[in-house]
Amino acid sequence: EAKFPKPARTRLIAVANQKGGVGKTTSTVNLAAALAQNGARVLVIDMDPQGNCSTALGVRHESGEPSVYDVLEGRMSIAEVKRQCPDLSSLDVVPASIDLSGAELEVAQFENRNNLLNEAVQQFLRESNEHFDYVFVDCPPSLGLLVINAMCAVREMLIPIQAEYYALEGLGQLINTIGLVQEHFNPILTVSTMMVTMFDKRTLLSREVYNEVKSHYPSIVLDTTIPRTVKISEAPSFNKSVISYDPRGMGAIAYGEAALEIARRSPVVLDAIASRMKEA
Ligand code: ADP
Ligand code: MG
């Protein structure tokens, strides 16, 4: 079994883009699975009331089940609600259910409303008797309080960009919001990774989108692109990552390569990206 380099300390990564359908959930699920399969201990936190990430990783998330909603509202800890992914023993999931859709309003008047997830994650990492290499947070398609909580709980933002005509539309607004969160709440936050998804190598448009993103963010964009494949889109209906569903297929290979690229981003590279972002 191939093993990827492990980070010296826990890498906290939120996967965000306020556009829906760009591959946030698919990327969270499959990067987490690829890293777990290659020796990393991984926690995935589903922050989308749709719970697609929970579905794809095969954990229950019916309304009323213990979930991230209970964590944000302080009723339960991450340790109490997390579940093991049935396919990968080194991958745990904090599920989300439709209950989470009420949370933004319910916590809006809490004084620490931006830091609810951060406090829960820090408590978990402090008290857990296991070391986690990665914590991924799958964000809903918005820039609301749930996403702000994700941005306050991590050091790295991973932005999936769909290879389509309007790919870069809205990216400025997202980067701007990340900048505001960094300025006011979380000084260590950086966009460490962008990844082009649903890439079709036969189309000029896909290559143009890649080249454009790469020219704007040369050190941030992964060399690996994720192809559009039927297996990637089928896997969630079997409650599986594509890594488990079709391990030798193009989708699993691409997510494996992307995960390796991410694992190879050393603290030095991440610091260089962060300081370049501060200058910009
Ligand atoms: P988001 O979380 O950003 O809303 P998803 O990850 O749920 O986006 O992806 C949106 C839809 O596109 C889903 O139906 C998913 O299965 C499909 N999809 C995502 N990535 C790919 C891919 N590389 N190839 C084929 N289908 C994909
Ligand atoms: Mg999603």
> Which residues 6+ apart lie within 8 Å of 180 measured at CB?
none
Mean pLDDT of 198-220: 94
Task: Give burial (CB, 10 Å; 0-12/13-18/19+) of 264.
Answer: exposed
Average pLDDT, the chain: 95
**ipTM of this complex:** 0.99
Domain locations in the chain as residue ranges: 11-279
Q: Strand 91-94 relative to strand 83-84: parallel, antiparallel, unpaired?
A: antiparallel
- Among 44, 50, 224, 233, which is best to mutate for testing ligand 1, by the most ligand atoms less than 8 A from CB? 233
Residue 243: strand, helix, or coil: helix
The average pLDDT across 166-176 equals 91
Q: How many A from CA of 129 to the centre of ligand 2?
A: 30
Interval between CA 93 and ligand 1 midpoint (Å) = 19
pLDDT for the residue numbered 128? 96
pTM metric for this prediction:
0.96
Mean pLDDT of 129-139: 97
Q: What span, in angstroms and rounded, lies between the C-alpha atoms of 149 and 192?
A: 18
- Atom 19 of ligand 1 has which residue's CA nearest to it? 23
Does the structure show a pLDDT above 90 at 72? yes
Whether the predicted pLDDT of 1 surpasses 60 = no
Return the ligand 1 atom nearest residue 198 CA: 23
Judged against a pLDDT cut of 80, whether residue 280 lies above it is answered with no
Query: Residue 176 corresponds to which tokens in the numbers above?
Result: 């701007």
Distance from residue 75's CA to the centre of ligand 1 (Å): 32
Among protein residues, the one with the nearest Cα to ligand 1's atom 26 is: 233
pLDDT band at 181 (very low <50, low <70, confident <90, very high): very high
Distance of CA 29 from the midpoint of ligand 1 (Å): 11
Cα 142 off chain centre by: 14
Fold of 11-279: Rossmann fold (3.40.50)
Instruction: Judge residue 202's burial from the number of C-beta atoms within 10 Å of its C-beta, 0-12 exposed, 13-18 middle, 19 or more buried.
Output: exposed
